[in-house]
């Protein structure tokens, strides 16, 4: 495997950044994960636009000219012969002697890009049975709209899910509404067949898959309501699912050990999943 590290393509096994990198010292960095499907990088313009937003919010400089990054992503995907899998991009504030305040303006931000293959059949198989989620109290900072590499609450929540035999953890707000998963957005389908997902203006990451899902839903003639929903409403819903670049639409069949509807993947979720790549392939920036 080949990785890109600060201007060089190197063997993945030898790819390294300096111990004084601010990503390592302070989690002072941001990232993106794009799905690679049928050889194309899904929703790349949207991912790069969100990366730009994350960088801007944190006053981290672009590590390369913005127009060059798509070429690097493509190159890493090609060099690793990835037709189906993912490409990962991380930008940090760079290498500087450890000090909380920003380093001097001439410090170059760090850029790392990796890619790896994934078996598309594995996702399809998972979707046939669906996943279980647990709920955990929201304990993250209030800037989760920034895709920061500071993911310790997400790590702990997802580990707790794993130990409970589940595949995702949903953060629940003080008012009892579901925010999002540790690495995904949360959705339900009401008894009337309407999709419901929390507004992305505050308190969650605006998922790229979530955004594209609006187009997919429209193509299927499905309505979307952006509003909060409670855990109880999700359990009683016709369907529930998560969305992310790597899972697309993945049915949720159990929440905290209780079945969602009849405990089987729902047809709306599966049709969204089915239609997703056709729409994503055509979707504009
Ligand atoms: N919410 C969180 C906290 C995430 O980490 C992710 C993706 O990793 C998502 C939502 C889904 O975002 P996307 O669809 O862009 O992958």
Tokens of 144: 């989760």
Q: 123-282, what's its fold?
A: D-amino Acid Aminotransferase; Chain A, domain 2 (3.20.10)
Task: Evaluate: CB of 186 within 6 angstroms of ligand 1.
Answer: no
β-bridge mates for residue 97, sequence order = none
- Range with lowest mean pLDDT among 21-25, 230-234, 262-266, 281-285: 281-285
Pocket test residue of 37, 184, 245 for ligand 1, highest count of atoms within 8 A of CB? 184
Of the candidates 1, 245, 248, the one whose C-alpha atom is nearest the C-alpha of residue 115 is 1
The per-residue pLDDT for 285 is 47
Can you count the helices (H) and strands (E) in the chain? 8, 15
β-bridge mates for residue 95, sequence order = 21
The per-residue pLDDT for 280 is 76
What are the φ and ψ backbone dihedral angles of 43, each rounded to 5 degrees? Answer: 55, 35
pLDDT tens track for 40-65: 999 999 999 999 999 999 999 999 99
What are the φ and ψ backbone dihedral angles of 120, each rounded to 5 degrees? Answer: -60, -25
How far is the centre of ligand 1, averaged over its atoms, from the C-alpha of 32 (Å)? 9
- For the segment 160-180, the average pLDDT, to the nearest whole number, is 98
Q: In the block, which residue shows the tokens 């309505």?
A: 223
Task: Evaluate: CB of 198 within 6 angstroms of ligand 1.
Answer: no
Long-range pairs for 74-80: beta carbons < 8 A, 24 or more residues apart: 74/41, 75/4, 75/9, 76/2, 76/3, 76/4, 76/9, 76/113, 76/114, 76/115, 77/36, 77/41, 77/115, 79/2, 79/9, 79/115, 80/1, 80/2, 80/115, 80/116, 80/117
pLDDT at 212 over 80: yes
How far is the centre of ligand 1, averaged over its atoms, from the C-alpha of 185 (Å)? 6
Angle, CA 181 vertex, CA 192 and CA 266 arms, to 5°? 35
Q: In the block, which residue shows the tokens 């069949």?
A: 253
**For ligand 1, atom 7: residue with the closest CA:** 183
Task: Evaluate: CB of 245 within 6 angstroms of ligand 1.
Answer: yes
Chain centroid to Cα 37, Å, comes to 15
Domain map of the chain by residue range?
2-118, 123-282
The per-residue pLDDT for 284 is 56
d(CA 157, CA 135): 9
Structural class in CATH, domain 2-118: alpha beta
Task: Evaluate: CB of 44 within 6 angstroms of ligand 1.
Answer: no
Does residue 136 contact residue 170 with C-beta atoms inside 8 Å? Answer: yes
> Does the CA dihedral 38-13-167-33 come out positive or negative?
negative
- For the segment 11-17, the average pLDDT, to the nearest whole number, is 97
The per-residue pLDDT for 224 is 98
Could you tell me if the ipTM is greater than 0.85?
yes
pLDDT at 283 over 80: no
Of the candidates 147, 143, 227, 232, the one whose C-alpha atom is nearest the C-alpha of residue 187 is 227
pLDDT tens track for 88-143: 999 999 999 999 999 999 999 999 999 999 999 999 999 999 999 999 999 999 99
Pocket test residue of 185, 211, 279 for ligand 1, highest count of atoms within 8 A of CB? 185
**Ligand 1 atom having least distance to the Cα of 35:** 16
Q: What confidence category does residue 281 fall into, taking pLDDT thresholds of 50, 70 and 90? A: confident
The per-residue pLDDT for 278 is 81
Residues 6+ apart with CB under 8 A from 82: 36, 115, 116, 117
Give the pTM.
Answer: 0.97
CB atoms within 10 A of CB 101: 5
Does residue 198 contact residue 229 with C-beta atoms inside 8 Å? Answer: yes
Angle, CA 23 vertex, CA 29 and CA 204 arms, to 5°? 35
Catalytic residues: 147
How far is the centre of ligand 1, averaged over its atoms, from the C-alpha of 205 (Å)? 6
β-bridge mates for residue 188, sequence order = 196, 240
pLDDT at 161 over 70: yes
The per-residue pLDDT for 282 is 74
Task: Evaluate: CB of 54 within 6 angstroms of ligand 1.
Answer: no
**Ligand 1 atom having least distance to the Cα of 245:** 16
pLDDT, the chain, mean = 96
pLDDT at 246 over 50: yes
Does residue 46 contact residue 257 with C-beta atoms inside 8 Å? Answer: no
């Amino acid at each position: 495997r080949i990785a890109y590290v600060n201007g060089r393509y190197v063997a993945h096994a030898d790819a390294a950044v300096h111990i004084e990198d601010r990503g390592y010292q302070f989690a002072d960095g941001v990232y993106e994960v794009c799905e690679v499907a049928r050889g194309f990088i899904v929703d790349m313009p949207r991912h790069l636009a969100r990366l730009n937003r994350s960088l801007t919010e944190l006053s981290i400089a672009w590590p390369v000219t913005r127009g060059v990054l798509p070429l690097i992503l493509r190159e890493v995907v090609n060099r690793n012969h990835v037709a189906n899998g993912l490409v990962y991009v991380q930008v940090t504030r760079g290498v500087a002697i450890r000090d909380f305040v920003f380093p001097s303006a001439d410090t170059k931000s760090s850029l790392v890009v990796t890619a790896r293959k994934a078996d598309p059949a594995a996702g399809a198989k998972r979707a046939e049975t669906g996943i279980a989620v647990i709920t955990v109290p929201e304990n993250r900072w209030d800037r989760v709209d920034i895709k920061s590499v500071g993911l310790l609450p997400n790590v702990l929540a997802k580990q707790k899910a794993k130990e409970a035999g589940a595949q995702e953890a949903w953060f629940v707000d003080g008012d009892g509404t579901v925010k999002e998963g540790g690495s995904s957005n949360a959705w339900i389908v009401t008894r009337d067949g309407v999709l419901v997902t929390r507004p992305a203006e505050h308190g969650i990451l605006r998922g790229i898959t979530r955004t594209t899902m609006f187009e997919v839903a429209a193509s299927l003639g499905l309505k979307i309501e952006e509003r909060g929903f409670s855990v109880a409403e999700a359990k009683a819903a016709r369907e529930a699912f998560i969305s992310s670049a790597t899972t697309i639409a993945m049915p949720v069949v159990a929440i905290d050990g209780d079945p969602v509807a009849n405990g089987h993947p729902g047809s709306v979720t599966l049709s969204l999943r089915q239609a997703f790549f056709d729409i994503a392939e055509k979707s504009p920036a």
